[in-house]
Structure 1
Amino acid sequence: MAKTALITGSTSGIGLATAKAFAAKGYNIVFNGLEENGAEIAAGVAQEFGIGYLFSPANMMQPEAIRALAKEALDKFGSVEVLINNAGIQFVAPIEDFPEDKWDAIIAINLTAAFHLTKAILPSMKANKFGRVINISSAHGLIASPFKSAYVAAKHGIIGFTKVLALEGGEHGITANAICPGYVHTPIVDKQIPDQMKAHNMTREEVIEKVFLAEHAIKDFISLDTIAQTILYLADSEAAATITGIAMPLDAGWTAH
C-alpha cells in the first residue's frame, strides 16, 4: 500500500520539487497551494507519475482551513506517513518600518501553520507507530540577516518546534527534522530582489552577487533537487531512521563562517 506525503506550499518552488521526488517513489501526494492553477499543477504531477493525489487550496493563515486539510487527507488516504511543512512567505524591511500585518502573516504561515497541521496529523502517526515530519526552516533559522526580523524569528522558531516534536515523537516511531537551505532561486527569492535593490541601492546583478550569494562559500544558489533529495532521504531511507531533532544546513557553506 502506497504511503502518503502531505506537503504545504507544494505547487511551486521547493514544495513542488519535493512533491515530484516523492511521487517518483510512488507516494500519494496531498498538494497545497494558493496558485490559481494549483489544481492543474497537482493533477499534472499525479498523471505524470501515476499516483493518488489530493489538492487543497487551504490558506495557512487559517487554523480551521488547516484542520480541514488534515481531515481531508486522512479521510481519503487513511494515513499520512510524511508531513512536510514547507509553506512560507517573506518580507524585507527595517524593524522600525516593518508593517505589523506583515509580521503577523509571516509568523502565522512560516511557524504557526506548522504547529496546527502537525497537531492535526500527529495522533494518526502515533496510532500507526510511524511518522516523518520535515520542517523547512532556513539558514536564517541558524543565523540572522538585517531587515528580516519576522522571517528570522519564524525560522528560528520552527527549529525549536522541530526539536520538541523529535523528543515527543521518538517513542512512537516518529522523527522530526528541519532543513535549513541557503539561497534557492525560487519565487520567494525572486520577489525579494527588488526590495533588496531598493534597500541597498544596487542593481539586480549586484544584489545576487553581494547580498544573496555573498556568504555562500560555493558561489551558487542551492538547487531544488538538492533539497528535495535530502528531504526524501530523511523521510524514506532506513539509514535515516534514527536521525531526529536536527537542523540540517544546505547552505553552500554559509553557516560555516
Structure 2
Amino acid sequence: MEVLSSVRNGCKLLKIFLDSPKELGVTELSKKLELSKGAVHKLLTTLESEGFIRKNEKTKQYTLGYTLLELGTKVLKNHDIVDFSMPYINRLLSRTSELVVLCVRDGRDAIYVAKVDSPHPIRFTVESFRRFPLYSTSAARVLLAYQPEPFQDEILSERLKTYTPHSYQSAEEIKQNLQMIRERGYEISSNRRNVGVTGVAAPIFDSSDQVAASISVVGPSDRVEPQLDNILQEVLETVREMSMELGHRA
C-alpha cells in the first residue's frame, strides 16, 4: 500500500505542473500536495533520477523533465486518431483558411491533440495538449453532448469556470445547449471562451456509434461569420467522411 501511495503522490506531483508556473519549489509543492517537505523532496529525487523532473541549480526549483516529452511524443505516434485525421484537418485548412483543431476526451477533460494554424497574419490559435473543461469550448461541448446524462451531470455539478461575459452561467444553460448539439449534430459558438472568436464544431463517430473525437474550425468572428455557411458545410462533410472511414453507418 505504501508503494501505491508513493506512485499516486508522484503522479499528482507531475500533474500539478499542468496548471502551474514552469518551475516550482519544494515548499509550494508541499502545500499543493498537502505532504511534508521531506516527503516531497523524496518524491522529487526519485522522479529526477528517472528523468521525469529536472532541477534548476540556479533557482533550486523544479520543472518537468525530458522523459515526459519522449513519452508524450510516443503517445501521439501511437494515437491512431491523430494520424488518421491529419489529411482531413489539412484539407479543412485549405478550404477555410482558419485554425482547425482535433479534440478528444480524456476522462473528465478535453484535450486538443492536433491542430493546424491559419495562414492569415491576424489569426486565433490555441495551445496543444493542454487540458480544459468539457463544457468550455465548442469542440469540447460536442464531446460532452454525446456522453451519458449521469456523466454530464457529474461534470456540470462542479463549480463552472466562466471566461467572458458571454460564457454559460449555469449547468442548466449548458444542458440545454448539449441537447441542441445532439439534435443538430454540430455547434456554432461565438464569444463563449474568447471575445471576438467563433468556432464551428462537430463530432466524429466510430464503428460502435461512439464519439471518437471532434473537429472544430475557429477564427476571428469578423472573418468567420461572413463565410459561416460554407465553413459549417465543410466541417459536416469532413466529419461525415471521417466517421464513415471509421466504420460508422448510422
TM-score (norm 2): 0.26
**Structure ID, larger Rg:** 2
> In proportion to residue count, which structure has more helix?
1
> In proportion to residue count, which structure has more strand?
2
